Amino acid sequence: MQEDTLQTLVLIKPDAMKNSLTGYVLSQISEFHTGLIFAATKVVHVTDMLAEEHYAEHKGKAFYPPLIEMITGRLHFPGEPHKQRVIAIVYQGPNAVKKVRDVCGPTNPNNAREEKPGCIRSLGAVIYLKDDAGNIIGDRMDNLIHASAKPDEAEREIKIWFRPEEIPAAMRAFPTVTCEDTFYFKDGKLTKKYEKGGICVLAPGDVVWKSDLEALRAAEQGKPSETSLQAVVAKYLLNREAGE
């Protein structure tokens, strides 16, 4: 990808939303400070399917379950599904991935305060998790923001959060194709024919990430593919029904 069309994914996490830090985060990453421009943005009620795809690399780690609870908003807004959301943004411009990581600072907010005072994550918190006896059994990092760490990570993440049609055509950084088939999703499976309760994810004429269509074709034929079915479908299921 050309340097000036590099893109990165930012998520304003539920802890930032809860503390009314959205505007602060946006102004730190503004075009004036970073030279980056918006390519896409939306408010998302994060499903487990999307959360698990997004944080797939951390599956099995001790902090993975609280991380999923956190990014879905259930931790900061229990019993308030209408507040369980994140703001997802694609930024574009020279050196986008590194520039945003730099203003974020270190992952751990305690380290952020030590090593890079003033960075976004220096306003975050480390929450210690305790067992019933009060012993510390782990920690959770409420660090306000997610930002892709590497360009290939950014491509994977932008494709799982955004449909091409949510990004202006002139700003799409990855290959797209026009879908000529209809695909439905029901009970974890892909179908070509409508069945009661199925959700239409793609219809003829829809613009789709090329790698997604390849993954759907592979899933149809029972072949392995680099992109899982969930990674393709998750973004088509967002914001459809009231969350629990």
Q: Rule CB under 6 A: which residues touch ligand IDP?
A: 63, 67, 107, 139-141, 143, 146, 149
Tokens 């390519």, residue? Answer: 39
97/102 Cα distance (integer angstroms): 9
Q: Is 127 in the site for Mg ion (CB under 5 A)?
A: no
| CB closer to ligand IDP out of 145 and 173 | 145
Binders in 130-189 for Mg ion, by CB under 5 A = 149
State the minimum distance, in angstroms, from the CB of residue 225 to ligand IDP.
24
191/188 Cα distance (integer angstroms): 10
| CB closer to Mg ion out of 28 and 143 | 143
174/7 Cα distance (integer angstroms): 10
Helix residue ranges per DSSP H, 179-228: 210-220
Closest CB to Mg ion: residue number:
149
Q: Which of 45, 54, 76, 146 is catalytic?
A: 146
| CB closer to ligand IDP out of 90 and 216 | 90
Per-residue string for binding with Mg ion, 36-65, x by CB under 5 A? Answer: ------------------------------
State the minimum distance, in angstroms, from the CB of residue 4 to Mg ion.
24
Instruction: Evaluate whether 9 touches 157 at the Cβ level (below 8 Å).
Output: yes
State the minimum distance, in angstroms, from the CB of residue 149 to Mg ion.
5
| CB closer to Mg ion out of 12 and 213 | 12
Beta strands in the chain (DSSP E): 7-12, 37-44, 86-92, 125-130, 136-142, 145-147, 176-178, 183-186, 189-191, 199-202, 207-209
Helix residue ranges per DSSP H, 123-209: 151-161
Q: Is 146 a catalytic residue?
A: yes
Contacts to Mg ion by CB under 5 A: 149
Q: Which residues are known to be catalytic?
A: 146
